[in-house]
Structure formats: structure tokens, C-alpha cells
Amino acid sequence: MLPAAARMRRPAEFAAAVRSGARAGSRVLTVHVAPTTTEGVRVGFVVPRSVGSAVVRNGVRRRLRHVLRAELDGLPRGVDVVVRVHPGAAAMSSTALRAELARALARAVAHPVGSRS
């Protein structure tokens, strides 16, 4: 579980991060990284119904949450991260998801805010 301070909850927070942040993606997920006024890093997940049943969606979210918990210390302070999951993620192993997420996060953090890739 992510610490309470590291979780995004409000739809407006998600919308602001998606709208104003840098974006990097792959065939199974898209990562949005946006600066914020908070001190730490906040994370949110968007896992639509197209990914699968509720059991599948929650399993994917749980695996990604576990991966991101380990990555929190390596992210710059004062950012919001939104991970949007695509249907192909449900069939991937945790190791493959970790690699995809790490690659997308590195690209999104390296791009200037507001750029799109």
C-alpha cells in the first residue's frame, strides 16, 4: 500500500496532472508527470474497464502500486504521477510491468513539463 500522503484521490488532481504534465507511454501504459505545490510525490492510477473485469483491474493496480512504492524515493519531489493502464497490461508479468513503468517514468521525468511524447 502506498502511504496516504502519496495517493491522489480527487478527480481534479488527476485532471490537472494529465493536462499540465509531461507524458510518456508504451503499448501497455501511459505515465503523466506534473509539478505540484505539495512537498512529496503523489501517485494515481487510471485503470479503465477495457483492461478487464474488476478482479483483473484491481490485480494490475495492485502490482503497479507495489512497483511504484519502490520507485517513490527516486522520483523528484513535488510531482504528481498518473499512470494510465491500457488493456495489454493485464497479460503482462510483474517483471515486465516494472520494466515498462520504469522506462515510461524515466522518459516522462526527463522531458520538460508540458512536452508531449
Q: What is the pLDDT of residues 102-114, one digit of tens each?
A: 999 999 988 756 4
With respect to residue 116, please indicate whether it lies within any of the assigned structural domains.
Answer: no
Say which residue the cell 474488476 belongs to: 54
The CA distance from 35 to 16, in Å, is 10
With respect to residue 55, please indicate whether it lies within any of the assigned structural domains.
Answer: yes
The CA distance from 66 to 2, in Å, is 8
Per residue in 35-75, pLDDT tens? 887 888 999 999 999 999 999 999 999 999 999 888 888 88
With respect to residue 9, please indicate whether it lies within any of the assigned structural domains.
Answer: yes
With respect to residue 117, please indicate whether it lies within any of the assigned structural domains.
Answer: no
Predicted confidence at residue 40, as pLDDT, reads: 86
CATH code of the domain covering residue 82: 3.30.230.10
With respect to residue 86, please indicate whether it lies within any of the assigned structural domains.
Answer: yes
Q: pTM for this one?
A: 0.87
| Residue 26 pLDDT greater than 60, yes or no | yes
Say which residue the cell 493502464 belongs to: 85
With respect to residue 115, please indicate whether it lies within any of the assigned structural domains.
Answer: no
Sheet of 29-35, strand order: 22-25, 29-35, 79-85, 41-46
Contacts of 79 (CB under 8 A, 6+ apart): 21, 33, 34, 35, 36, 41, 42, 109
- Ordered DSSP codes for 61-97: HHHHHHHHHHHGGGSPSSEEEEEEE-GGGGGS-HHHH
Domain of residue 80, residue span:
4-110
Domain count, the chain: 1
